Amino acid sequence: MKKTIFAIILITLAILGSWYYYNFIKYAPKTYVKDSQVVTQTENGSNTTNVSATVNTVTGETTKVTPTYKLADISSHNNASSCYSIVSGSVYDLTMWVNLHPGGKSAILSMCGNDGTDAFMNEHNGKSKFMKILARYKIGTITQ
């Protein structure tokens, strides 16, 4: 009796497994969609589009893409209320750091809106501690 019930359960599972395989795996309906689409963001008043992520429309997975900025984008962020700077080809939003910088506001304000690589490296010599702090504020990379 137990062997018969076991055999019936085993056959039922085999039939259900085959049905699932042929309907959902091997012969699943094919959808023809683009593999991915780009989600973009634009800065207020700017004509540049900064890519923030790529979304795979089949799996739904999101891959973060580092936004790119032009020098003109950076130069308009040149004060304490909006402070962007370039250090070694990366763009940083230092607005929140202006008032927190242990060396005072003026050190950061001098970097706002321009390439601050020389100022940063001359002061901090590329030390790991300071590079980690700076990395918190990275928002993208610079392009030509």
61 and 20 housed in the same domain: no
* pLDDT surpassing 90 at residue 90: yes
* pLDDT surpassing 90 at residue 23: no
Task: Print the domain residue range for 102.
Answer: 68-142
Assign 65 a pLDDT band (cuts: 50, 70, 90).
Answer: confident
How many domains does the chain contain in total? 3
For residue 93, the domain's CATH number is 3.10.120.10
85 and 133 housed in the same domain: yes
72 and 60 housed in the same domain: no
81 and 125 housed in the same domain: yes
73 and 129 housed in the same domain: yes
| Helix (H), strand (E), coil (C) string for the chain | CHHHHHHHHHHHHHHHHHHHHHHHHHCCCCCCCCCEEEEEEECCCCCCEEEEEEEECCCCCEEECCCEECHHHHHCCEECCEEEEEECCEEEECHHHCCCCCCCHHHHHCCCCCECHHHHHHHHCCCHHHHHHHHCCEEEEECC
Q: What is the pTM of this model?
A: 0.58
25 and 35 housed in the same domain: no
Greater confidence (30 vs 20) lies with 20
Q: Please give the pLDDT value at position 20.
A: 74
Assign 67 a pLDDT band (cuts: 50, 70, 90).
Answer: confident
